[in-house]
Structure 1
Amino acid sequence: MTVIPSPSQRAPGPAVEPRAEDYRANKLFRHMTPDEVAALAPQIETLRCGKGEMIVQRRDEDGGIYLLLEGVLLANLYARSGREVGYRRIAPGGYFGEIAAIDGLPRSVNIVAVEDARLVRLPQRLVARLFEESPRFMRALLEDMATLTRALTDRLFELTAVSVACRVDIELLRMATAAGGEGDTAVIHPCPTHAELAVLVGSQREPVTRELNRLAGLNIIRQSGRTLKILDMAALADEVERIGGEL
């Protein structure tokens, strides 16, 4: 796995000013005015990374916030045994780094590119200024922190109280909801591999594969390559309730 050097370690190069349309739709700026968001362009940095690269490593001391424009990222940690623990996938429009930016402590997780990705980075000095001067920025950040806390609470409950099959179904519903959809269907693309999904639900690949095959047999999902289609969202939700989960 390749590790991207921290900002302080990267060789200096010509500044690349991102276009406003690349980042201004990020949910972190949802309460700010278009002019406020556009004014950030000269102060932020663009980054590209390839599949498998580690963008942020646990214990890094950089305090910037990163916004994802293209690609999919995974927040994870590795145990001494080598086992990978996944916390959440980050899709375009998402962001990360806010916890270290708030408390000033080192990074708490790794952020790895699941596929080629393009990001922009708000440097630590810019984030500090927004904390001081932009109540609209802080409002969005606090709302998202509350949402993240609730989501992690739900995941902790699932890991200790429901079966692997149920956790797989719940994770599929989460990804389908995030991807949007029309009526009772949704398309997840790129969908995680069975091994990646196992990391997210705290299991091994084999039981995840069994559950996906079971759902396909019930005509609830259909997978083709890196695309997974939820054919019946209501039926998937019913399966969660039936095998002991909560929505």
Structure 2
Amino acid sequence: MTVRDRWQVAAGARASTKGAGYVEDDGLVARLPPDAAAALLALGERVEYATGETVFREGDRDVRTALLLTGAVTVRTGGTAAEPTLLGVVCAGDLVGEMAPLDGNPRSATVAACGPVTARLIPQHRFLDVLDRHRALREELARSVVARLRRANALRRDLPSRAETRVARVLVDLVTRLGHLEPDGSRTLDLPLTNVEVGSLAGLKRRSAEHAFAALREAGVVRAGTRRVIHVPDLSHLATVAAGRRRQTTARPAGLR
């Protein structure tokens, strides 16, 4: 779905998720008034990135920002060359890399395309100018930054919790924001993320992340697909696990276990 599509269906998307126990994030653009959204969408040049291609690199003094039109990007920092820490996933309708143009400091993380991505790459002076002219954009940008911090804190809160509970919280967040609703009501998360990367969002090490996914698969909460696709048969079941509760199930005959 493109940014303009998300903008037009934002109200409907929010209404459709009220009864499901979560709130779908429609992106910064969808929350802006029409004049501010149009001004932001008109900025910069349109660029395309292939899967895995770097948008911004940690340590660089690139002071542009990117408005994602389609697709999603990963944000990583630190760690080892083989296993950098995954900080988050940002999707169409949101800005990424907005800190550097605001404070002029080197990039604090690497942003890479998580599948094909289309974006508008915005020069610093154009970005600062539109912020000056549109108070609504300034306010929504501030709310967006705060929301990301709150989301990161929420995914890592209560660290003594069971590993599968912490992974379930991450999956609820990712599936809600980036998943696809299938005809049978299940959800599919089709992102090139490993189980270890998903676990790192919850502050888990490799072994704990792998054990957590094994436990979730054993309980039927998630199913692994091809190409790192994750299937969630029942989002409410996943949300129950994320809340630290176990859903009551009818025991199966021994021969069907």
Superposition map of 1:201-240 within 5 A: 201-226=202-227, 227-240=229-242
Distance 1:80 1:165 in 2: 24
TM-fit CA distance, 1:35: 5.0
Residue aligning to 1:174: 173
The share of aligned pairs that are identical, in percent, is: 21
1:203–1:122 Cα change, 3 Å? same
Residue type of the alignment partner of 1:209: E
Give 3-state SS (helix, strand or coil) of 2:66's partner. strand
Q: Which one-letter code corresponds to 2:135 in the other structure?
A: P
SS at match of 2:238: helix
Q: Deviation at 1:174?
A: 0.8
Counterpart for residue 162 of structure 1 = 161
Q: Distance in 2 between matches of 1:33 and 1:81?
A: 42
Cα distance in 1 between the residues matched to 2:39 and 2:193: 36
User: Contact conserved, 1:63 with 1:124, CA < 8 A, in 2?
Assistant: yes
Cα distance in 2 between the residues matched to 1:60 and 1:96: 15
Contact 2:186-2:234 at 8 Å conserved across structures: yes
Q: Given the superposition, is the C-alpha separation of residues 47 and 209 from structure 1 closer, same or farther in structure 2, using an over 3 Å criterion?
A: same
Say yes or no: does 1:133 pair with 2:133: yes
SS for the counterpart of 1:111 is strand
**Paired position in structure 1 for 2:147:** 147
Moved more, 218-227 or 22-31: 22-31
Distance in 1 of aligned mates of 2:237 and 2:41:
45
Q: Which amino acid aligns with 1:78?
A: G
Q: What's the RMSD between the two structures over aligned residues?
A: 3.2
- Rounded to whole Å, the distance in 1 between the matches of 2:218 and 2:93 is 33
Change (3 A) 1:92 1:43: closer
Deviates more, 1:43-52 or 1:201-210: 201-210
**CA distance in 2: counterparts of 1:85 and 1:36, whole angstroms:** 34
* Residue 124 of structure 1, CA deviation: 0.7
Identify if the C-alpha distance between structure 1 residues 41 and 222 changes in structure 2 by more than 3 Å, giving closer, same or farther: closer
Question: 5+ residue gaps in structure 1?
Answer: 1-18
Q: Counterpart amino acid of 2:242?
A: V
Q: Is the 8 A contact 1:63 1:101 kept in 2?
A: yes
Cα contact 2:47–2:121 (8 A) shared by 1: yes
Structure 1 residue 40: Cα displacement: 5.4
Q: 1:37 Cα shift?
A: 4.1
Q: Which residue in 1 is equivalent to 2:77?
A: 77
Equivalent pair of 1:24/1:38 in contact (CA under 8 Å): no
Displacement, 1:45?
1.0
| Cα distance in structure 1, aligned partners of 2:216 and 2:41 | 45
- Quote the residue 1:107 is aligned against: 107
Q: Which amino acid aligns with 2:117?
A: A
Which is further off, 225-234 or 20-29? 20-29
What count of residue pairs does the alignment treat as equivalent?
A: 225
Q: Distance in 2 between matches of 1:42 and 1:240?
A: 40
CA distance in 2, matches of 1:185, 1:50: 28
Q: 1:54 to 1:81 in 2, by over 3 A?
A: closer
Preserved CA contact (<8 Å) 1:23 1:67: no
- How far did residue 201 of structure 1 move? 3.2
Partner of 1:192: 193
User: How far has the Cα of 1:111 moved from its partner?
Assistant: 0.7
Q: Is the 8 A contact 1:52 1:115 kept in 2?
A: yes
Q: Give, in whole Å, the separation in 1 of the partners of 2:130 and 2:116.
A: 29
TM score, norm. by length of structure 2 = 0.72
TM-score under structure 1 length normalisation: 0.75
Q: Secondary structure at the match of 1:48?
A: strand
Change (3 A) 1:39 1:154: closer
